Chains A and B, each alone.
Chain A
Amino acid sequence: EAGVVQSPRYKIIEKKQPVAFWCNPISGHNTLYWYLQNLGQGPELLIRYENEEAVDDSQLPKDRFSAERLKGVDSTLKIQPAELGDSAVYLCASSLGRIWNEQFFGPGTRLTVL
């Protein structure tokens, strides 16, 4: 069974440029998460989707970050415009549903903003 797929794996951009990350969860997983992980720290939740609905986006900086999960499968996380402080690893995870605790993580996208 394929795991969580993310692309690109690495991205280097100039500040003020837009950037987008893509995630394909494990087949059948209804719940999808986007996390941000700074170097030497644990992941922090940005947004959680139950199917197409964003049910927890309280930590998402909505002035520059946006996310969507069309058709309740793939998801895209966008930053526009990017700032130097956005340099981090962006992780996507999925789980079977809200009653299932085990989250499966993708490899992440390492973003560098110059």
Chain B
Amino acid sequence: EDQVTQSPEALRLQEGESSSLNCSYTVSGLRGLFWYRQDPGKGPEFLFTLYSAGEEKEKERLKATLTKKESFLHITAPKPEDSATYLCAVQAEAAGNKLTFGGGTRVLVKP
């Protein structure tokens, strides 16, 4: 069974204080690893897809990396508007388009 574990559960940062979120996964045949951002009262918003170990993608202050067992979402010099829950999900080759999500990391960036 595909499993995704995110850590930490919650993260409080000062504005400008860089940090990393971890997503550990167990999947039989990874098709893709996805990062989403979710604001309170809204649905998840797509950020990145990573397909193979060693791949990196960047968007503004966010950078996602992938190894064979985990992915990291690095937040560089965060701003208060980066406060959100960040969700990681995996898609297995044998699971069609099904996404298996982790529990998320709640990030609060204080000014």
Known: A41-B103, A42-B89. A103 touches B97 (CB 8 A): yes
The answer to the question of A72 belonging to the interface, with a C-beta cut-off of 8 Å to chain B, is no
* Chain A residues within an 8 Å CB radius of B36: 105
Tell me whether B12 is interfacial, beta carbon within 8 Å: no
Known: A41-B104, A42-B101, A48-B96. A105 touches B45 (CB 8 A): yes
Say whether, besides A55-B96, A98-B96, A44 and B101 are in contact (CB < 8 Å): yes
Chain B 28-58 near chain A by CB (<8 Å), digits 1 or 0: 0001101010000111111001000000000
Q: Quote the shortest CB–CB distance from A41 to chain B (angstroms).
A: 5
Asked whether, in the complex, the Cβ of A103 is within 8 Å of the Cβ of B46, the reply is: yes
- Nearest-neighbour CB distance to chain A for B109, whole angstroms, equals 19
A100–B96 CA distance with the chains assembled, in angstroms? 10
Bin the interface of chain B by size: 20 to 34
B73 within 8 A of A: no
Known A42-B87, A42-B101, A43-B101; judge A4-B43 contact (CB<8 A): yes
- Which residue in A43, A48, A104 is a CB contact (below 8 Å) of B97? A48
Would you call A95 an interface residue if the criterion is a C-beta within 8 Å of the partner chain's C-beta atoms?
yes
Which residue of the partner chain, among A4, A48, A106, A107, contacts B98 with CB atoms under 8 Å?
A: A48
Chain B residues with Cβ under 8 A from A105's Cβ?
36, 43-45
Interface presence of A45 (CB below 8 A): yes
Contacting pair A45 B42 (CB below 8 A): no
Q: Are A56 and B96 in contact (CB under 8 A)?
A: yes
Q: CA A56 – CA B98 in complex, angstroms?
A: 9
Q: A101-B31, A102-B46, A107-B42 are in contact. Are A95 and B97 (CB under 8 A)?
A: yes
B43 touches A102 (CB 8 A): no
CB proximity of B104 to chain A, nearest CB, Å: 6
**Per-position 1/0 for A77-114, Cβ under 8 A of B:** 00000000000000101010010111111111000000
Q: Assuming A43-B87, A105-B45, what are 9 further A-B pairs, CB within 8 angstroms?
A: A31-B97, A40-B103, A42-B101, A43-B101, A48-B96, A93-B43, A95-B97, A101-B31, A101-B97
